[in-house]
């Protein structure tokens, strides 16, 4: 930087309508007192003054004049980014603006955030997925191989520590395995709530049912198609079955044998036979004073037919409940059949 003498410094302040009050100047890092053109008395290094040529307040106002956008400029900027501004007024860059994002999602954002490249939450999720795929090889960073392995190691260490602590304190690896702990918990719950388990309180049960109705459309979450399918996907007895077309589906028990018979022996098309629980009819029934939902095994829509696949054992052991399911389905107008299969053979149709 150029070296200035005291007279030159005075001249620079004067040329910018400011008055230098300090009586000496050493170098550009020395703090100088001066009166700004706005009449404010300020202390500032000469190095900083050469950048601003005024006080902080005047400099801020200058920047606002330079970079302030009007409504038309803001609207045009949104259009240039393939977005549509819905708001009809622009105050400043910190005011929320309503707009339609390029992904067609309606959202709100400040103009400052929009200038920085931020978009709606939907776009943020997609952008995050792409970033995670590039860095971790998975849409969710927590599901990357490294993170999963790290969690497993941490869980193993924590489990060992927890079991060790419980053995020392209670003589068992899990605290609730100790009868005294269970008894103490039940006594506390009885004293506080009048029941051994708070979840048995009527207000808790009513609240749970109300929440499930709002979220899933049923009093019990498991009666929802998506929740039920998710639970089935985690069951160990669930197995894969390959259809004649090569399509792989997940089935239970003897359902695979029934599917093959329908397609190969009875000449049904694969698309005519539904096993996707999300597409099943909604059949509710009452058993042992409880409202339940019946998820069918196989549904043939064009015939309005339900096929329930059972082994001799599973049909006989739950015969009352099985017959109640059939009764409720037939009341709703469905044609209902039990296919009793044993040792890979169809024994009978009821």
pTM over 0.75: no
> Quick one: pLDDT at residue 234?
65
The confidence score (pLDDT) of residue 67 equals: 61
Q: How far apart are CA 104 and CA 86, in angstroms?
A: 12
The residues near 55 (Cβ < 8 Å, ≥ 6 apart) are 36, 38, 40, 42, 44
For residue 223, being part of any structural domain is answered with no
Which residue, chain included where needed, has tokens 């009885």?
190
pLDDT exceeds cutoff 60 at 322 = yes
For 26, the token pair is 């050493």
Across 305-317, average pLDDT: 91
Same domain, 53 and 73: no
pLDDT value, residue 66: 55
Give the whole-number percent of the chain exceeding pLDDT 90: 23
pLDDT of residue 282: 86
**Tell me: the pLDDT tens digits for 189-208?**
888 888 888 888 888 888 88
Residues 247 and 338 in one domain: yes
pLDDT at 108: 92
Whether residue 225 has pLDDT greater than 70: yes
Task: State whether 51 and 73 are in the same domain.
Answer: no
Res 233: pLDDT: 65
pLDDT band per the 50, 70, 90 thresholds, residue 70: confident
Taking residues 154-177, report their average pLDDT.
Answer: 87
Q: Determine the average pLDDT of the residues in 69-81.
A: 89
CB neighbours of residue 341 within 10 Å:
21
Give the pLDDT of residue 60: 79
Cα-based distances in Å from 79 to 67, 72, 74, 93, 265: 19, 11, 9, 17, 61
Looking at the fold, whether 123 and 89 belong to one and the same domain comes out as yes
Query: Do both 45 and 81 map to the same domain?
Result: no
Check whether residue 23 and residue 35 sit in a common domain.
yes
Query: Which residue range(s) make up the domain with 293?
Result: 237-349
242 with 344, same domain: the answer is yes
List, for residues 87-144, the tens digit of each pLDDT value: 998 888 888 999 999 999 999 999 989 988 888 988 888 888 888 888 888 888 887 7
pLDDT of residue 195: 86
Is the pLDDT higher at 59 or at 237? 59
> 324 or 345: which carries more pLDDT confidence?
324
Shared domain for 28 and 90, answered yes or no, is no
The whole-number pLDDT of residue 235 equals 60
Summarize the confidence of residues 265-273 as an average pLDDT. Answer: 89
Same-domain pairing of 332 and 241: yes
Whether residue 76 is contained in a domain is answered as: yes
pLDDT at residue 65, rounded to an integer: 60
Domain-embedded: residue 222: no
Q: What percent of the chain has pLDDT over 70?
A: 97
Q: Is the pLDDT reported for residue 258 higher than 70?
A: yes
Mean pLDDT, rounded, of the chain: 87
Residues 328 and 248 in one domain: yes
Angle CA 316–337–276, to nearest 5:
100
| Domain tally, the chain | 4
What pLDDT was estimated at residue 177?
85
Q: What is the pLDDT of residue 73?
A: 87
In a domain, 150, yes or no: yes
């Amino acid at each position: 930087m150029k070296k200035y003498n005291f007279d030159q410094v005075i001249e620079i302040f004067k040329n910018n309508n400011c008055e230098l009050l300090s009586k000496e100047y050493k170098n550009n890092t020395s703090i100088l007192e001066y009166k700004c053109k706005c009449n404010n008395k300020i202390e500032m290094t000469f190095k900083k003054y050469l950048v601003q040529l005024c006080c902080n307040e005047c400099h801020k106002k200058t920047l606002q004049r330079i970079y302030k956008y009007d409504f038309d400029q803001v609207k045009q900027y949104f259009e240039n980014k393939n977005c549509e501004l819905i708001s009809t007024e622009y105050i400043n860059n910190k005011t929320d603006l309503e707009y339609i994002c390029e992904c067609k999602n309606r959202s709100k954002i400040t103009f400052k955030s929009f200038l920085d490249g931020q978009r709606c939450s939907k776009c943020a999720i997609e952008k995050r997925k792409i970033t995670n795929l590039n860095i971790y090889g998975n849409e969710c960073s927590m599901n990357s191989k490294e993170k999963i392995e790290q969690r497993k190691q941490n869980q193993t260490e924590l489990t060992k520590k927890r079991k060790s602590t419980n053995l020392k304190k209670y003589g068992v690896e899990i605290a609730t395995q100790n009868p005294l702990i269970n008894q103490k918990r039940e006594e506390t719950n009885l004293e506080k709530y009048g029941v051994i388990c708070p979840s048995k309180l009527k207000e808790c049960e009513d609240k749970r049912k109300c929440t499930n109705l709002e979220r899933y459309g049923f009093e019990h979450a498991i009666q929802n198609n998506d929740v039920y399918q998710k639970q089935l996907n985690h069951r160990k007895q669930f197995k894969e079955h390959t259809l004649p077309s090569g399509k792989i589906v997940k089935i239970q028990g003897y359902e695979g044998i029934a599917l093959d018979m329908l397609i190969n022996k009875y000449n049904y098309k694969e698309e005519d036979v539904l096993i996707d629980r999300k597409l099943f009819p909604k059949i509710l029934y009452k058993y042992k004073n409880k409202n339940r939902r019946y998820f069918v095994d196989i549904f043939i829509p064009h015939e309005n037919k339900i096929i329930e696949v059972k082994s001799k054992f599973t049909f006989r052991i739950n015969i009352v409940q099985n017959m109640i399911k059939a009764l409720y389905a037939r009341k709703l107008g469905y044609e209902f059949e039990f296919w009793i299969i044993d040792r890979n053979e169809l024994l009978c149709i009821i």
